[in-house]
Amino acid sequence: MEYENEKRMWSPLVERIGIPVILGAAVMLIAVFVPVLVWAQDAITQAMSVEYRDIPGIGSRNVIWVVAQQHLLLAGFVLGVPIFAWVCELVGWKTKEPRYDKLAKEFTKLLTSAYATTALFGGILLFLLIGLYPKLMAYLTDIFFPSFVVYCILFLLETCTLYMYWYGWDAMQGSKKGLHLFLGFLLNLFAIGIMIVPNAWATFQASPVVISEGSAIERAWAATWNPTWWPVNIHRLIANVVLGGFICGAYAGIRYLLAATKEEREHYDWMGYVGNFIGVFGMLPLPFAGYWLMREIYQYNQQMGITLMGGFLAWLFILQAMLIGVLFLGANYYFWMGITYRIPGSEQNYRKPILAMLVVLMICLGVWMTPHSLVASLEEARKMGGAHHPLLGVFGVMSAKMTVSNLMILVTFMSFIMYWRAGKQETATWAKVAKAVMGALLVIAGIAVIVLGVWGYFVPAIIRINYFSVAQVLIVLFIMLTFTPLTAALMKSAKTTTEMVWGQMPIRAGYCLVSNAVMVILLMSLMGYARSSSRVHWHIYGVMRDTSEYAYSPALGYAAAFMSLNTFLFCLLVAFIFWVATMGEKGKALPKEGLRESPGKVPEGIAPALAGGSPTSEEISRT
Amino acid sequence: MSEVAVLQLIGLVVVGIGLLILLFIKAMFVRVVGFVIIMLGIFSLIALGVPQMPSLPPAIETFDLASVKTPDDLAAIGQKIFFSKGQCALCHSIGPSESARCPDLKGIGAKLTPEFIYESLTQPQAYIYLDYRHQGPPKEYPARMPYINKNPIALSDQEIYSVIAFLQKMSGEPISIKVEDVMQLANTQQTMTVAAAHRSSDFERVNPTESTDAPESGEAK
């Protein structure tokens, strides 16, 4: 029956055209396509034999380095911003404060502007990789093709959701706000998917899992679920929030410095505070995620771990300590300036604690930056009795560094708590007891972290790594998780004694925010170099060797110069994108959003912390 | 002028330009740019001040048979491989060391037979300690000796026997690896037979747990 139908369908066509014509066409097709197919096959075979292409004068690796770094930093920003933009929107919706909604919208505006540029650099990177590293890309494509499809679908979904989220912002206010929030949730869900799929490709290069049997999907899945995939996913997710927060802070800092009116200063001072708060909020758990990643690397392959921590990259971690130290100092300094300038009069109460915190931070930074073995001449080494300094040598080991990093996190957290409490008088009957308990817990925690650190010298490394370091981290987390709700509960009923004044921060506050962003960008560039260099001369560790002329990792000085160049280019790129994004504002009335439109009710829970720790002046005058 | 000196000069110029901008330019955005390039310049200068060690790929060493005349020549090649391509010194020390992560190899050439050393390098999980220096129950992820004849290290048999010759020499033992066997290996690519024992009692397979210098605890697998 089907055959009959088919025959009926084809017969008129054959009759109309004629068999000779069809045969002629077939011959023509064969005559044309066979040579083309043969030529294409030859071209493919020839292309497959090319392992590398170079760009004379600049070098293929340098080009990839710059483009990949720009793409990754932009991607980090684009994936980090929706997380806290959505949280801001959620807080605004819960507290009914329009300023949060407007801040979330401003964050999203920066996001939409950066999104297209991120995709553009991603495309350039892909073309360059296919062109310059064809053999590697053919291998990766062979393994990961199913995940390429997933990535494309996620990218489409992300783009559609972002358009709806951004362009539907004003239309979805009021009763449709729930739908808009759901779109924001989806946006973040797809964004996380977009992040973790390429992470699988990158982590596979460091810790490959290769299986030869099974379907394409099974092979891709096995390669995706490699030992460092999830540690990198978590580390990058948090780091993206930190990057996004500090870049938004820097944007606000520059706008604050350029502000022409009081309203602008107030708005961008507040936005700068929120950016810094988000950056610090993410920065506190980041070292823990980094620690987990390093543990996984050691467990996967000790040689790789040793190359990172004890081999030619050992000095990189001294630079990392310096950058993190400056970042911690910058973040704390911004909090302290906030206490001094936004809550006038309260600096008298906090001068001594601030000085003590500064001393602790400087000592911790000094210990963290102490190298294990010193650069010394033969004579100096002989006098010291080796490459380790007799006194300072004890600070060069992991036990000391873990201790001080935990202490720095504690100090930074306390700076935030101090800022939150500044200008407030607790009225709760249990306030005194709560404060005493918190004080005692803080002292005990500090002592416990130090004792575990010192004890760590006298136990086998594995005991220290598996138990002591973990205990130190848990102690600090315990403090953060108990102090935050306790302080929130105390502040709920607290009386405001000093009016919070926005827009009074000195010029150096703006520079401080810029410095924090630069430190984070440098840190991400530095650790990207570390991750890539840990593979030494392998494209895919132990599986595919790099046989190009660039199969070496450059020394730190050269790499740092490149990182600086990349950071500068990224800053210029972001400044340009933001400038274009804000061009539309020109001529419009400057945002009176923010502070002036706050309702009388003082928000509860996390909201006051996000808002700067104190209600606005209008709120105070009303209460 | 070295590359480091050129980069230091560029770093200083960059910092200088930043300072000039901060001193003489009033436009706030340009001042911020000046501030940023000062930070980047200082970062680069500090990074240029620490030891500069590029990580070069191990040379694809050709086993120059012509240069090997005596067992000592073989041991000399083995020594080079021990500290470079073989990556042995990354974890092992020769002589007591606080920073060593794995057993001290001093005298190992006298304690263990060449066959046992060969097996330890090529089938490290066949007969070796787990949990070096570890007290208590075994770890979930114990320290493991990598397969030296497979990627990423991938020493050839000739290279492995050279390393064994080096281990014997530095233990004060006569080198039992025969040059002609290694030569033959180059042609046949077959596993060479190790020369007969010069002290037959020493050539019995030694269980490292019985050794006095063995790690404190652990489980043989």
* pTM value surpassing 0.90: no
- The position carrying tokens 């990643």 is A293
Which of B55, B102, B144, B145 is the best residue to mutate to test the A interface, defined by the most A CB atoms within 10 Å of its own CB?
B55
Give the distance from residue B202's alpha carbon to the nearest chain A alpha carbon, in angstroms. 32
Q: What's the whole-number mean pLDDT along residues A139-165?
A: 94
Percent of chain A with pLDDT strictly greater than 90: 49
Per-residue pLDDT at A616 exceeds 60: no
Which of B25, B38, B40 is the best residue to mutate to test the A interface, defined by the most A CB atoms within 10 Å of its own CB?
B40
Q: Under an 8 A CB cutoff, do B50 and A511 touch?
A: no
Q: Are the CB atoms for A570 and A247 separated by under 8 Å?
A: no
Q: Are the CB atoms for A504 and A341 separated by under 8 Å?
A: yes
Percent of chain A with pLDDT strictly greater than 70: 82
Per-residue pLDDT at B22 exceeds 90: yes
Residue A409 pLDDT grade (very low, low, confident, very high; cuts 50, 70, 90): very high
Report how far residue A83's alpha carbon sits from residue B80's, in angstroms, rounded to the nearest whole number. 53
Q: What is the pLDDT of residue A560?
A: 95
Residue B212 pLDDT grade (very low, low, confident, very high; cuts 50, 70, 90): very low
Q: Are the CB atoms for A186 and A161 separated by under 8 Å?
A: yes
Measured between CA atoms, the residue of chain A closest to residue B138 is A462
Q: What's the whole-number mean pLDDT along residues A49-70?
A: 92
Q: Are the CB atoms for B206 and B116 separated by under 8 Å?
A: yes
CATH tag for B65-210 (out of 3.40.605.10, 3.40.630.30, 1.10.760.10, 3.40.50.720): 1.10.760.10
Percent of chain B with pLDDT strictly greater than 70: 70
Whether the upstream peptide bond of residue B152 has omega within 30° of 0, thus cis, is yes
pLDDT in tens, B90-146: 778 888 776 566 778 888 888 888 888 998 898 887 765 555 555 555 444 455 678
Which of A298, A564, A569, A578 is the best residue to mutate to test the B interface, defined by the most B CB atoms within 10 Å of its own CB?
A564
Q: What is the pLDDT of residue A597?
A: 40
In three-state secondary structure terms, B89 is helix
Residue A40 pLDDT grade (very low, low, confident, very high; cuts 50, 70, 90): low
Per-residue pLDDT at B217 exceeds 60: no
Partner residue facing A568 (CB), from B37, B49, B87: B37
Question: Looking at per-residue confidence, does B68 or B18 come out higher?
Answer: B18
Report how far residue B110's alpha carbon sits from residue B116's, in angstroms, rounded to the nearest whole number. 12
Per-residue pLDDT at A513 exceeds 90: yes
Set of chain B residues whose Cβ sits within 8 Å of the Cβ of A546? 57
Partner residue facing A558 (CB), from B7, B50, B91: B7
pLDDT in tens, A549-605: 999 999 999 999 999 999 999 999 999 988 888 776 665 554 444 444 443 343 444
Q: Under an 8 A CB cutoff, do A466 and B139 touch?
A: yes
Q: What is the pLDDT of residue B16?
A: 97
Q: What is the pLDDT of residue A470?
A: 86
Q: What is the pLDDT of residue A39?
A: 58
Q: Are the CB atoms for B148 and B141 separated by under 8 Å?
A: no
Question: Looking at per-residue confidence, does A461 or B10 come out higher?
Answer: B10
Question: Looking at per-residue confidence, does A291 or B13 come out higher?
Answer: B13
What burial class does residue A42 get, using C-beta atoms within 10 Å of its C-beta: 0-12 exposed, 13-18 middle, 19+ buried? exposed
Q: Under an 8 A CB cutoff, do A558 and B3 touch?
A: yes
pLDDT in tens, A317-374: 889 989 999 999 999 999 999 999 998 888 788 889 999 999 999 999 988 888 776 5
Report how far apart, in Å, the C-alpha atoms of B133 and of each of A234, A238, B111, B120, B189 are.
32, 35, 20, 18, 37
Q: Under an 8 A CB cutoff, do B54 and A312 touch?
A: yes
Q: What is the pLDDT of residue A275?
A: 92
Set of chain A residues whose Cβ sits within 8 Å of the Cβ of B152? 303, 536, 538, 541-542
Per-residue pLDDT at A139 exceeds 70: yes
Q: What is the pLDDT of residue A24?
A: 65
Question: Looking at per-residue confidence, does A48 or A184 come out higher?
Answer: A184
Partner residue facing A556 (CB), from B14, B35, B47: B47
pLDDT in tens, A230-244: 999 999 999 999 999
Q: Under an 8 A CB cutoff, do B51 and A315 touch?
A: yes
Report how far residue A208's alpha carbon sits from residue B147's, in angstroms, rounded to the nearest whole number. 16
Mean per-residue pLDDT of chain A = 84
Report how far residue A248's alpha carbon sits from residue A514's, in angstroms, rounded to the nearest whole number. 10
How many A×B Cβ pairs under 8 Å? 132
Indicate the Cα dihedral angle A108, A110, A116, A120, nearest 10°.
-140
Give the distance from residue B3's alpha carbon to the nearest chain A alpha carbon, in angstroms. 8
Q: Under an 8 A CB cutoff, do B32 and A557 touch?
A: no
Measured between CA atoms, the residue of chain A closest to residue B135 is A460
In three-state secondary structure terms, B220 is strand
Measured between CA atoms, the residue of chain B closest to residue A257 is B28
Report how far residue A324's alpha carbon sits from residue A341's, in angstroms, rounded to the nearest whole number. 25
Which of A268, A313, A532, A558 is the best residue to mutate to test the B interface, defined by the most B CB atoms within 10 Å of its own CB?
A558
Q: What is the pLDDT of residue A361?
A: 94
Q: Under an 8 A CB cutoff, do A564 and B41 touch?
A: yes
Which of B3, B50, B92 is the best residue to mutate to test the A interface, defined by the most A CB atoms within 10 Å of its own CB?
B50
Q: What is the pLDDT of residue A620?
A: 39
Partner residue facing A571 (CB), from B8, B36, B144: B36
Set of chain A residues whose Cβ sits within 8 Å of the Cβ of B146? 303
Q: Under an 8 A CB cutoff, do B144 and A302 touch?
A: yes
Per-residue pLDDT at A276 exceeds 70: yes
Per-residue pLDDT at A3 exceeds 70: no
Q: Under an 8 A CB cutoff, do B47 and A561 touch?
A: yes
Residue type present at position A475: I
Q: Are the CB atoms for B134 and B142 separated by under 8 Å?
A: yes
Give the distance from residue B161's alpha carbon to the nearest chain A alpha carbon, in angstroms. 22
Q: What is the pLDDT of residue B95?
A: 83
Question: Looking at per-residue confidence, does A241 or A462 come out higher?
Answer: A241
Q: What is the pLDDT of residue A374?
A: 58
Partner residue facing B36 (CB), from A298, A555, A568: A568
